[in-house]
Amino acid sequence: MKYRILSNEELSHLEEDFKHFLIVNGVHAEEWEALNKNDVDKAVQLVEVFSDTVLQKVYEKIEYLEFRSLDTCMVFHLCEDKIELISIHRKAESSIDLSTVESIHEALKNNADELTFFKTEKNYSKNRELEIHDMIEQGCLLSSSQFWTALSLSIVKN
């Protein structure tokens, strides 16, 4: 398995897609029911392949991720061949909260002198989609080009 098995909730939202996947792979409704009863390992393997296929397609489309905590905000631009990072940290003596978009906006607007900014890039150390998967597993969430651009402009000003 390349990524992870989709949860039951995720699978329930993709029920029609899963049915089409099974048909394309030569497994019809009756056969699927029989597999679930008589060859659970084979059924699980099919769900694993479907999960990997879905996640691969999702990860290929992701362009921005972010990670926020009280003292840091990191936004990642996931290019084809490299990851770009904008990182904002509050200074040690600061009590600024960087865990919400609103508090980040407020800090950039009114307390930029209590923040440190860092921008860098690196090549992927493994396959792009595997790195995206690992980042999401570590707590990163989807972000947007608008947030990336706003932070880029804020760094230029400061």
Q: What is the pLDDT of residues 4-30, one digit of tens each?
A: 999 999 999 999 999 999 999 888 888
> Do 77 and 64 contact (CB within 8 A), yes or no?
yes
CA distance linking residue 125 with residue 40, whole number of Å: 36
What is this structure's pTM?
0.85
Q: What is the pLDDT of residues 48-71, one digit of tens each?
A: 999 999 999 999 999 999 999 999
What integer pLDDT is reported at residue 105 of this predicted model?
86
Angle (CA) 77-81-83 rounded to 5° is: 30
